[in-house]
Each structure stands twice: as structure tokens, then as C-alpha cells.
């Protein structure tokens, strides 16, 4: 785009609407699903990690508690002496947790008696059941259990405190191995979530794609409402689209009615002009006046023909929108059309030679539209034929198609091709002396396209043109 203003001599070029695309629903959806998956994976990891720690600690506590009890049970009061039995079983029990170091301490009446006397004491005085706590000791963090026992020594009740500590390496190793599995599980979950969210996004956005495809696959004149089944959320969008299509159809139909009315209002006075001019011509002897009247009549024919073909063109466009198909006999239709052109052809002593299969030729299509196309082809052939010539009309069946071939001995295409000639209001370079509107071939081509058929013009050997209008057989 440049900032240059458009040249005033040229009409503004129609611009294709540019849709501003802000973001992508699919990307947003996928990203959101992935964020959710990541959060879930992380939460899973943390939950497993915490419960693994707890479980490992509980396992250590159970062993430690049992060992402490067993150690405390090994203290025997014998009159004035105390006997401490450090049974090996107590310590072998502790080695179940792994290569952990074990520390103990026994106090009597608040006085350290044996073991590691600097082992951290429990935060509160425990009872008969072990009290567990965690405390740092000599570069380690220990898990400790403490119990007290009351015993009689020398007739006095003395409280014995037994503290047993163990490093937490084994517990950590177990927790770590569980955590690394949890991390693996979280990552696996996330990786699995990536394709799943892509699939989910595709499934959710699928109906949007299907509607888009259904609408964009349509022909340029297909204005039927969209009747795709869609999820409830897309309902309002489809409703709005159908409303728009309906308004467009209404506008097209009003245009057709308008053209029909306009044609009527133009043609009636034109008829008077033509007839009056013809009468005046009959009565005039003067050569100049006669030439003028002739040109009046020619112009009237030209305008009335244009009015007719505009109407027919509008009708064809309107009917292609409706797709009003039914099965009918193309042979009968073509025969009736040829029949109705006989008087016109007779006036210039043009012979219409018609040949068709004896059996019906069933085709599926819009009868009125196909009739309009056939009339235009026949009209063209007769119009451009020299007088006293022959126009051959043949209907043949070939490869599942009904081919209508209309061959004249006219002046040919004059070097133009069908693409050029079928443009609206475009006429061949060699037909200036023959009345025409330049819409006839456009109509035929549009009908052929709308009916799944084809139309071609080709030069004929020995001069003239052959028109080939082909329709698929039923």
C-alpha cells in the first residue's frame, strides 16, 4: 500500500476485505491445556515427594522408636547399681535403614551416664512412649527418639532418659529414589499431555473447520443456507451467516423482479416506436428519411434485445442460486426449441436440420435455464448464418453426456476465442452489422457451468462455427 491518492481518472479498484487475525484459538487452547498439564504434573510431583518423605520418616521413626524402647528395656536397676545391656539386636535393627550412623545417650536423674553425652536432649521430657525430634549433631542432621523409664535405686525413684539418634542418609536415599520416580512420572504425564491437547484442540475446533470448508467449497452463486449440524456455541454464528445469505438472496431476487419490470417498461414503448417507424418507412419515398428510419428500427431492436438478454442473464444467475433440478427429456426440449425457431429461420430461408436419437435423452438440470441456453445458441447460429444456408442441430450421446451440436455456415469467430466472446457485453470483431447484445454466450456459459456441463465454440471446416453444449446424462 502506498499513500498515493488514487488517480481520479480511474474508478477505485474493488478491494478484497482484509481480515485482521488476532491470535489463534487453537494455539491459545493448546497453550492453556499445556499449562494446566504442567501444573498438574508439578502438583503430582510435590505431593508424591512430600508423602515419600513422610513415609520414609515414619518408617525410620518406627525402627528408631522400637530400638529406643528396647534399649530402655535393657536398663536394669540392681540395688544401688544400674546395668545397661547394649544388646546387638538393638543396633542391627537400626541397620535396616541403611548405612546410617547411630548415637545414643543414657541419663540418670538428669546426669549423663553413658554414650555421647553431648547428643541433643529432647525439647521436652518424654514419657514411656518415644518422643521423636530432629536436631543437628556433628555435621549431621539426626533423627532422634527419646524415652524415660522410672526405676527404684536405693529405694529412691530415679528417672532414666534414653536418647537414640540416627543419621538420615537411608531415609533420604529412599525419599530421593521415590522423588526421582515422581519427577519421571510428572514429565511423562506432561509429554503425554502435549499430543492429547493438540487432539483436544482439533476436536473442539473441528466444527469451525467443517463449516468453513462447507461455505468455501460453494460455487459463486450457491446461496442456500448453511445447514451443517454444529455445536451449540457455533449456532449464533451460523444463524448470522444464514441471515446474511437470506438478505443477499432477497436483494438478488428484487434485482431480478426489477429488471423484469424495467424490461417491460422499456419494451412496450419501444414496440410502439418500432411499429411507428416501420409504418413511416413504408410510407416514405425520400432516401435520407428512409435511411434514418432504418437506423431507428435497428437501434430499437438492439435495445430490446439487450433488455431481453439482461433479463435472461439475471434469471440464469438467480436460478443458479436455487439449484432447481429435475429430470427431463433434452431431446423433446431441443426439438421444441428448433420448432419455435423455424419461422424466424424461414424468413431468411435458412434450413434447420435437426437430428436426435429416437429414444428420450434424460438429463438432470434446471429446465428453464437449459432452455435459455439452447435458445441463445440457436439464435446465434441463425443470426450469424447467411441467408439460404443450413444450420445443423445434432443431439448425440457420448461417454455419458448429451452433446448438442449446432453448426452454421456463418462468418466464424473472427479470431476471437470463447473466453473473450463470453465476457459480458463483449462481441466478436466481425459482427458490427448484426444486432446483438454480447450477453448470449455469457448466458450459455453460465448455464453450462451451473449444470455441470460444458460449452465450446470451434471453427467449422469449410467456414462457419460449431457450438458444442454438453450436459451430463441422468
Partner 1 sequence: MRFLLVEDTAELARSVQDLLRLNGHAVDWGATLAEAQDCLAAASYDLILLDIALPDGDGRRFLQGLRRSGQDTPVIMMTARSAVADRVDALDGGADDYLTKPFDLAELEARARAVLRRRGGAAQTVRDFADLTFDPLTATLTVAGEARELRNRELRLFEIFLGAPERIFSKDQLCDRLFSFAETVTDNAIEVYVGRLRRKLDGSRARIETVRGLGYRLTATA
DSSP per position, 214-252: HHHTS-TT--PPP-----GGGHHHHHHHHHHHHHHHHHH
Residue 290 in the binding site for partner 1 (CB under 8 A) = yes
Residue 288 in the binding site for partner 1 (CB under 8 A) = no
Separation CA 447–CA 471 (nearest Å): 10
User: Between residue 61 and residue 120, which ones bind partner 1 under the rule CB under 8 A?
Assistant: none
Q: How many other C-beta atoms are found inside a 10 Å radius of the C-beta of residue 27? A: 10
Our CB check for partner 1 shows the closer of 79 and 349 to be 349
Separation CA 90–CA 102 (nearest Å): 11
CA distances from 353 to 172, 281, 350, 394 (A): 105, 35, 10, 8
Grid coordinates belonging to 294:
432504418
3 state SS of 376: helix
Grid coordinates belonging to 19:
481480515
Residue 263 in the binding site for partner 1 (CB under 8 A) = yes
List, in sequence order, every residue forming a beta bridge with 158; answer none if it has no partner.
151
Our CB check for partner 1 shows the closer of 73 and 256 to be 256
Q: Which stretch binds partner 1 (CB under 8 A): 63-71, 121-129, 173-181, 275-283?
A: 275-283
CA distances from 215 to 21, 24, 228, 344, 345 (A): 19, 20, 10, 45, 46
Q: Which stretch binds partner 1 (CB under 8 A): 65-73, 82-90, 219-227, 308-316?
A: 308-316
Q: Using the rule CB under 8 A, which residue among 101, 181, 348, 424 binds partner 1?
A: 348
Is residue 462 left, alpha or beta, with left meaning phi > 0 and alpha meaning psi from -120 to 50? left
Residue 275 in the binding site for partner 1 (CB under 8 A) = yes
Q: Which stretch binds partner 1 (CB under 8 A): 37-45, 109-117, 175-183, 336-344?
A: 336-344
Q: Using the rule CB under 8 A, which residue among 131, 167, 304, 385 binds partner 1?
A: 304
- Can you tell me which residue has the cell 549433631? 137
Our CB check for partner 1 shows the closer of 176 and 371 to be 371
Residue 271 in the binding site for partner 1 (CB under 8 A) = yes
Q: Using the rule CB under 8 A, which residue among 73, 176, 222, 278 binds partner 1?
A: 278
Separation CA 179–CA 196 (nearest Å): 25
Our CB check for partner 1 shows the closer of 94 and 373 to be 373
Residue 353 in the binding site for partner 1 (CB under 8 A) = no
Separation CA 399–CA 397 (nearest Å): 7
| 149 to 178: interface string for partner 1, x by CB under 8 A | ------------------------------
Residue 343 in the binding site for partner 1 (CB under 8 A) = yes
Number of residues forming the site for partner 1 (CB under 8 A)? 50
Separation CA 100–CA 93 (nearest Å): 12
Residue 340 in the binding site for partner 1 (CB under 8 A) = yes
3 state SS of 425: coil
| 212 to 251: interface string for partner 1, x by CB under 8 A | ----------------------------------------
Q: How many other C-beta atoms are found inside a 10 Å radius of the C-beta of residue 341? A: 21
Residue 254 in the binding site for partner 1 (CB under 8 A) = no
Our CB check for partner 1 shows the closer of 186 and 440 to be 440
Our CB check for partner 1 shows the closer of 75 and 273 to be 273
Separation CA 68–CA 347 (nearest Å): 130
Q: How many other C-beta atoms are found inside a 10 Å radius of the C-beta of residue 51? A: 13
Q: Which residues bind partner 1 (CB under 8 A)?
A: 260, 263-276, 278-279, 281-282, 285, 290, 294, 297-298, 300-301, 304, 307-308, 311-312, 315, 340, 342-344, 346-349, 368-369, 371-372, 375, 383, 387, 433-435
Amino acid at each position: 500500500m502506498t499513500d498515493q491518492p488514487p488517480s481520479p481518472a480511474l474508478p477505485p479498484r474493488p478491494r478484497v476485505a482484509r481480515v485482521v487475525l488476532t491470535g489463534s484459538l487453537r494455539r491459545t487452547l493448546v497453550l492453556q491445556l499445556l499449562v494446566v498439564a504442567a501444573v498438574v504434573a508439578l502438583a503430582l510431583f510435590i505431593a508424591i515427594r512430600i508423602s515419600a518423605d513422610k513415609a520414609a520418616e515414619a518408617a525410620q521413626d518406627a525402627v528408631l522408636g522400637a530400638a529406643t524402647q528396647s534399649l530402655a528395656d535393657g536398663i536394669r536397676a540392681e540395688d544401688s547399681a544400674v546395668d545397661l545391656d547394649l544388646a546387638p539386636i538393638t543396633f542391627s535393627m537400626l541397620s535396616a535403614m541403611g548405612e546410617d550412623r547411630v548415637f545414643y545417650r543414657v541419663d540418670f536423674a538428669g546426669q549423663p551416664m553413658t554414650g555421647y553425652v553431648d547428643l541433643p536432649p529432647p525439647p521436652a521430657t518424654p514419657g514411656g512412649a518415644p518422643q521423636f525430634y530432629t536436631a543437628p549433631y556433628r555435621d549431621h542432621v539426626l533423627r532422634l527418639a527419646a524415652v524415660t523409664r522410672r526405676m527404684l535405686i536405693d529405694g529412691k525413684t530415679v528417672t532414666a532418659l534414653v536418647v537414640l539418634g540416627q543419621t538420615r542418609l537411608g531415609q533420604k536415599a529412599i525419599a530421593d529414589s521415590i522423588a526421582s520416580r515422581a519427577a519421571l512420572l510428572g514429565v511423562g504425564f506432561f509429554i503425554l499431555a502435549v499430543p492429547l491437547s493438540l487432539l483436544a484442540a482439533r476436536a473442539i475446533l473441528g466444527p469451525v473447520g467443517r463449516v468453513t470448508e462447507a461455505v468455501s467449497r460453494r460455487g459463486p452463486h450457491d446461496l442456500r443456507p448453511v445447514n451443517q449440524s454444529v455445536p451449540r456455541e457455533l449456532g449464533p454464528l451460523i444463524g448470522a451467516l444464514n441471515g446474511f445469505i437470506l438478505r443477499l438472496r432477497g436483494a438478488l431476487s428484487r434485482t431480478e423482479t426489477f429488471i423484469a419490470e424495467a424490461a417491460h417498461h422499456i419494451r412496450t414503448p419501444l414496440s410502439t416506436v418500432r411499429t411507428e417507424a416501420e409504418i413511416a418507412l413504408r410510407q416514405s419515398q425520400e432516401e435520407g428519411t428512409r435511411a434514418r428510419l432504418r437506423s431507428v428500427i435497428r437501434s430499437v431492436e438492439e435495445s430490446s434485445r439487450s433488455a431481453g438478454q439482461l433479463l435472461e442473464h439475471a434469471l440464469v444467475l438467480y436460478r443458479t442460486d436455487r439449484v432447481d433440478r429435475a429430470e427431463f427429456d433434452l431431446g423433446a426440449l431441443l426439438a421444441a426449441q428448433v420448432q419455435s425457431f423455424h419461422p424466424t429461420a424461414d424468413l431468411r430461408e435458412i434450413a434447420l436440420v435437426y437430428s436426435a436419437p429416437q429414444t428420450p435423452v434424460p438429463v438432470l438440470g434446471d429446465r428453464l435455464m437449459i432452455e435459455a441456453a439452447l435458445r441463445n445458441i440457436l439464435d446465434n447460429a441463425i443470426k450469424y448464418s447467411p441467408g439460404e444456408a443450413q444450420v445443423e442441430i445434432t443431439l448425440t450421446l457420448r461417454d455419458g453426456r448429451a452433446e448438442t451440436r449446432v453448426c452454421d455456415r456463418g462468418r466464424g469467430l473472427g479470431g476471437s476465442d470463447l473466453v473473450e466472446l463470453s465476457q459480458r457485453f463483449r462481441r466478436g470483431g466481425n459482427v458490427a452489422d448484426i444486432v446483438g447484445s454480447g450477453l448470449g454466450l455469457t448466458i450459455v456459459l453460465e448455464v453450462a457451468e451451473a449444470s455441470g456441463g460444458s460449452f465450446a465454440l470451434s471453427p467449422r471446416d469449410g467456414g462457419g462455427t460449431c457450438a458444442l453444449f454438453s450436459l451430463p446424462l441422468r
